[in-house]
Amino acid sequence: MSRRRRFKGRDVHGIILLDKPSGITSNDALQQVKRIYNAAKAGHTGALDPLATGMLPICFGEATKFSQFLLDADKRYRVTARLGVRTDTSDSEGSVVSVRPVSVTESQLSLALDKFRGDILQVPSMFSALKHQGRPLYEYAREGIEIEREARPISIYSLELLEFTDDAVSLEVHCSKGTYIRSLVDDLGELLGCGAHVIQLRRTQVAKYPNDKMLSLEKLNEILDECREQGIPPREKLDYYLLPMDSAVSNLPEVNMSSILAAYVTQGQAVMVPHALTEGFVRMTVGPEAEFIGVGEIDEDGKVAPRRLVRIGGDMPDADDQAE
């Protein structure tokens, strides 16, 4: 029996902002984009539900080393909720668990929304990817097993009412990492006394990435087909849309160093850089061209210690375990 040949792909480094369509999982979307780019390595930065659409940053190659910073970043969403019906998944794909009359005024809704602004505690849905004993919660939920979940601290920086009709509410949410919009809607419905579930959900922003830079799967496939018809390598057009890998850490303060110091850093050694910060993560660049070489952290001695290093065509250490 012959072994299936492993897909290898090409070395491509950067970030694409995918406008994920509804009806597919984030991993399905990732695999499609990975194949379009013929990329050897790729990963997404925070799953969207199959129902949801919108911004799904996909990191290629060395950019995957910085995906955690996007996972930890703030997010913005637009969500439409149906009032009067509660489901077990808190969205329209779940089974109805209760139907109640809706008698909510805009004044009552505004007061209820106030309860969710700022720093709050949220209990994650059983239909989430959070893990319990190595298994995602949704697997237990599908087996009818309820797992006790602790409330987790989250921040709702803004919660704006966009539209309100007799049985539907549209909101814009700016929130911290770890926020479950389905749980937010379910909690709102219970506070209003009528129940609610998500019928539309779109992520409009991750970190500070502009939403006009998003590309759909249809657009990417269209570019791929054009390249094949014209007989040119797809990378010549596709790679134009890649954002630089350091865009994932653009919010970090920059520490610029000489090429001499950078040589030590790329060997995993911490270095003292004049005028550097006294704590936290930093974006490390080299020379007047400010070439990005990775992310460092100020250690207890005030030195810049490498944590995630870019390795393209060279032999650099991969991560923390190389730094002393």
Q: Select which of 11, 28, 49, 114 is catalytic.
A: 49
Q: Is 19 known to be catalytic?
A: no
**What length is written for the chain?**
324
The two structure tokens encoding residue 7: 């897909």
Print the SS3 string covering the chain.
CCCCCCCCCECCCEEEEEEECCCCCHHHHHHHHHHHHCECCEEECCCCCCCCEEEEEEEEHHHHHHHHHHHCCCEEEEEEEEECEEECCCECCCCEEEECCCCCCHHHHHHHHHCCCEEEEECCCCCCCCEECCEEHHHHHHCCCCCCCCCEEEEEEEEEEEEECCCEEEEEEEECCCCCHHHHHHHHHHHHCCCEEEEEEEEEEECCCCHHHCEEHHHHHHHHHHHHHHCCCCHHHHHHHCECHHHHHCCCCEEEECHHHHHHHCCCCCECCCCCCCCCEEEEEECCCCEEEEEEEECCCCCEEEEEECCCCCCCCCCHHHCC
- Which active-site residues does the annotation give? 49
